[in-house]
Structure 1
Amino acid sequence: MSASGMTDPDRIWTEASGRLRAEIGEGPFSSYIAPSAVRADGAGRLILVTPTAYARDWVRKNALNRMNELWLGLDGLSRRLEVRCRAELGSAPPSAALAAQASSLQAPSALSLVAAPVATVAPVADGARAVRAAGLQDRLTFDSFVEGQGNAFALAIARQTAAWADGHFNPIFFCGPYGYGKTHLLNAIAWEAQRLRPDAKVVYLTAERFLSTFVRAVQDRSTAAFKDSLRSADMLLLDDVQFIGGKAASQEELLSTLTALIEDGKRIVLAADRPPTALNEVEPRLRSHLAAGLTCPVEPGDRLLKIAVAENRLDAFARLGVVSGRPSREVLEHLVDRTPGSMRELEGAINTLAAAAGPRLSGLGADEAQTLLGSALRGAPERRITVDEIQKTVADHFNMKQADLLSERRTRAIARPRQIAMYLCKQHTTRSYPDIGRRFGGRDHTTVLHGVRKIEELIPTDEQVARDVEALTRKLRG
């Protein structure tokens, strides 16, 4: 079948979103498109479901027309995408029309249905690593993971889990915003666990793969094979668990799978954009199981960590012969300061710089790097954003006094803006938690940590908080 005659929405979305990523850039894609997923409503119409109304509005304004152009160029049935946020669709399980349609068009065998979406790490004859089906990425190992203040604890737990250490917590649950290393840690655990125990069955898959495979298994009456493919695992790694929310039958199956694996002493590692207790769309019994082990936050990286990530990525390019030498510290700092979003956005800028500069990398100045990168960098102001400026901007945004943010008052009208200000301080300055606390009326660092994590939890779920943070970020960047 030609690319322009595909009918499976999953395949079309993979192809179309890949092209869209290249056109709009890694930052916007990671923020608004990557957390979304294609579903079918009760009438069989294809819906791009975004996590928040803010993301829905952004997609409609900036990407929907181009997305449909790409989709229509690939879809043999000439369907179009609509976009809605998760709240508009309610908590009812999605229609099985999409999976049924794909199943009837492709008619995969029970074996391919169960095995294809599940990435299983397996040794091969020459001792090299291989992956049966899509999922794991070779470059996402412990060797390529850059440790920093925000991820040190999660990294230590990941290494312990991968080593099959006794006395482990079960399940392990990594949580944090998109683009800061959760998927990297799951990949690294899978590769290392299989290296240390070649005879073990290590299974990695995303929640999206889990859902689509389960629905197809129900349609093909091959649920027994699906259950066996997961419950025979010695270690199960499940990414993007937040997407399991609102799907009753799939949640029940996941709960049964986790219960069976735990009872058999098997290892479970999960990741989501929020802690288990904040997954409000997830059924309480499943949420309780997810929270029963050890929750490890993966926090946004500070400026020093981002510089280290940039250096590490460019060193990898140098080993491949893509670039020659290292850029100056000035260029690295310029790159990091102009990409204040997630690590994925930073990596996109690094990739662009490496491709554009090549052997001239070590001789670049900041101005020339800016010219080569062009629109890949946001053009943030050269000046550094200060804690005082953040406090004044937040106070003005919420029609309050800066002194209110430093006071002992704990009413919601004061506490939430204060937490947002603390979050922005952690995002846009290099100040430590204790230092930020001192600048907010002498508060303890644990108070700041709690405030930052609270806003991280609310951004994907609370429309107003997401809008406030986005508006304040734009004001701070000028």
Structure 2
Amino acid sequence: MSDHREQLPGDGISAEDRSKWDRVRHRLRTDLGDAVYNSWFTRLELEAVNDGALHLTVPTKFLKSWVQSHYAPRIKARAASEFQKVERVVIDVRSPIRKMRQRDGAPEPCEVATPLFSQRAVQSAFAPVVEVVGEANGRRSARPAPRNDVDAFVGSPLDRRLSFSTFLVGPSNQLAYAAACRVAEARPGDIPMFNPLYAHAAVGLGKTHLLQALAHASNDNRRRTIYLTAERFMSGFVSSLTAQTSIAFKEKLRGIDMLIIDDVQFLQGKSIQQEFCHTLNALIDAGRQVVVAADRPPSELDTLDERVLSRFKGGLCVDIGPLDEALRMKILSARIAAAKESQPNFHVPPEVVSYVARTIVTNGRDLEGAVNRLLAHATLTGAPLTVETAEAAIRDLVRTQDPKRVKIDDIQKLVASHYNISRADILSSRRTANVVRPRQIAMYLSKVLTLRSLPEIGRRFGGRDHTTVLHAVRKIEELVGKDKSLAEVIELLKRILSEQ
């Protein structure tokens, strides 16, 4: 009688194929970064390579759906570079029994598998949250709980250097700073004054610093506070589903005094957004504080659920604007002072500090990078710093001021007006020549002038697929290289949109 036992992941796979799959995983980690890779790819396993298909498995339907909808093309592209005969990637959900089977002809397990984690293990897995958010119960565990699959939901790491005392205040961030301080001063049981508090800013302007400072101050006030990035919230939710501990996940999240979510623009997935919405409602309705940060105002978060956006708009929304020159000088002086602690001979003349502050107008991270380059020049060459040497040292950081944020709606209206058609024509399914070309131009401008992804742009153009947007972008890029008059029109449209 033939053996119908299910094959374990990896059984029957050649050493060469395993090596290829390891290279694929390494390239995915390099492409996506550790945070995304650890959230979605660590449980992705190679099942088989046959009939021109790469068969992969994950432990849950949710994870399968998420990986297929967000990363399947990237996986296929990376796999194709290693497995020459692979033309498609198939992702299935592996049986929970399969993971328990032993190799080398071990007997079949019972039909009902033993739970992977007991209730006590689930409870202890959340113990590190208390360590992260402070001594909410007046005591600490003698030692950290053991890590396992449900131990993914702990607060994101906090940097002790990011406190209110090190946050430099200027006209562009004064309101956000004052609001965060007011929230931090509240005591357990106080009714929140600003709920939710929503801060938005471009990259490197200090929103993460402000949120972490708020988390530190709240912990010092003995408030049970959890600081999470959107990626950490998503991975915690997925882990709770995988370990079948979603109830414990929800109870733990709803039992805190303050929830701080950073980079909420990355929150994706219908199920995750629904859970976040329920959590948001439960905390706010119970008088618990919620603080959120993003890279744009709520009205521009096109991918978030309307109910979530409604909650955001109902609170206090504060903007952290570009750094003025005086604030840039303060940031540079603070960074130079910090560098001198380790390099006492590091000296930056006032005229050099003034030159860097005038030249680098983008964000605080570029200013920090400038100090690092000046420090490297001074310590490695031994030559004194002058404006001329500083100019050479920071040349790669000098760029023009960030362009004004352009909205897709504005692009559609301008292109429609220029070509004497309506915006409704651009969004319609009409395929006449006088509509198709303006639609492609509007898609192209949306790609080059906004931060929106191809799927987001497609949704804003009447629910079109991202491949349609990609085709339009490539088509216009090709035509611009051949048609000088079209290139001039597109440059004119770009200039108008940037100056509006």
| Same-fold status (TM-score > 0.5) | yes
Residues 79 and 331 of structure 1: is their aligned pair in 2 closer, same or farther, counting only changes over 3 Å?
farther
Do the aligned residues in 1 keep the contact of 2:332 with 2:353 (CA within 8 Å)?
yes
Distance 1:145 1:99 in 2: 48
Structure 1 residue 259 and structure 2 residue 281: aligned? yes
Structure 1 residue 140 and structure 2 residue 162: aligned? yes
**Residue type of the partner of 1:159?**
C
Do the aligned residues in 2 keep the contact of 1:338 with 1:378 (CA within 8 Å)?
yes
Which structure would you say has the larger Rg? 2
Do the aligned residues in 1 keep the contact of 2:164 with 2:213 (CA within 8 Å)?
yes
Distance 1:150 1:116 in 2: 37
Q: Which residue of 2 aligns with 1:330?
A: 351
Structure 1 residue 365 and structure 2 residue 386: aligned? yes
Q: What is the identity percentage for the equivalent residue pairs of Structure 1 and Structure 2?
A: 28
Deviation string for 1:33-58 (max 9, x for gaps)? xxxxxx7334963649xxxxxxxxxx
Deviation string for 1:245-292 (max 9, x for gaps)? 4x2111111111111112222111101112222222111111111211
Structure 1 residue 314 and structure 2 residue 315: aligned? no
Deviation string for 1:114-139 (max 9, x for gaps)? 6789993326999xxx9x76422121
Q: Which residue of 2 aligns with 1:377?
A: 397
Equivalent position SS for 1:148: coil
Distance 1:184 1:17 in 2: 22
Do the aligned residues in 2 keep the contact of 1:136 with 1:187 (CA within 8 Å)?
yes
Q: 2:232 aligns with which of 197, 205, 209?
A: 209
Q: Which residue of 2 aligns with 1:178?
A: 203
Distance 1:239 1:215 in 2: 18
1:189-268 equivalence runs, <5 A:
189-197=214-222, 200-245=223-268, 247-268=269-290
Distance 1:164 1:138 in 2: 21
Residues 342 and 283 of structure 1: is their aligned pair in 2 closer, same or farther, counting only changes over 3 Å?
same
Q: 2:451 aligns with which of 460, 466, 470?
A: 460
Q: 2:310 aligns with which of 268, 274, 288?
A: 288
1:91-106 equivalence runs, <5 A:
none
Q: 2:368 aligns with which of 347, 362, 367?
A: 347
Q: Which residue of 2 aligns with 1:427?
A: none
Do the aligned residues in 1 keep the contact of 2:36 with 2:231 (CA within 8 Å)?
no
Structure 2: give runs of 5+ residues left out of the alignment. Answer: 1-21, 38-65, 85-89, 101-115, 145-153, 405-412, 418-445, 461-489
Deviation string for 1:442-469 (max 9, x for gaps)? xxxxxxxxxxxxx9xx9434979xx989
Deviation string for 1:163-196 (max 9, x for gaps)? 1165511111101212111111100000011112
Distance 2:366 2:169 in 1: 18
CA shift for structure 1 position 360: 8.9
Equivalent position SS for 1:139: coil
Equivalent position SS for 1:140: coil
1:41-80 equivalence runs, <5 A:
41-42=68-69, 45=72, 47=74
Residues 283 and 183 of structure 1: is their aligned pair in 2 closer, same or farther, counting only changes over 3 Å?
same
Residues 100 and 175 of structure 1: is their aligned pair in 2 closer, same or farther, counting only changes over 3 Å?
farther
Aligned length: 333
Q: Which residue of 2 aligns with 1:421?
A: none
Distance 2:266 2:93 in 1: 16
Do the aligned residues in 1 keep the contact of 2:346 with 2:378 (CA within 8 Å)?
no
Distance 2:122 2:25 in 1: 20
Q: Which residue of 2 aligns with 1:305?
A: 327
Residues 142 and 243 of structure 1: is their aligned pair in 2 closer, same or farther, counting only changes over 3 Å?
same
Distance 2:293 2:376 in 1: 32
Structure 1: give runs of 5+ residues left out of the alignment. Answer: 19-38, 49-63, 81-94, 395-411, 417-454
Q: 2:134 aligns with which of 122, 143, 166?
A: 122
Structure 1 residue 159 and structure 2 residue 181: aligned? yes
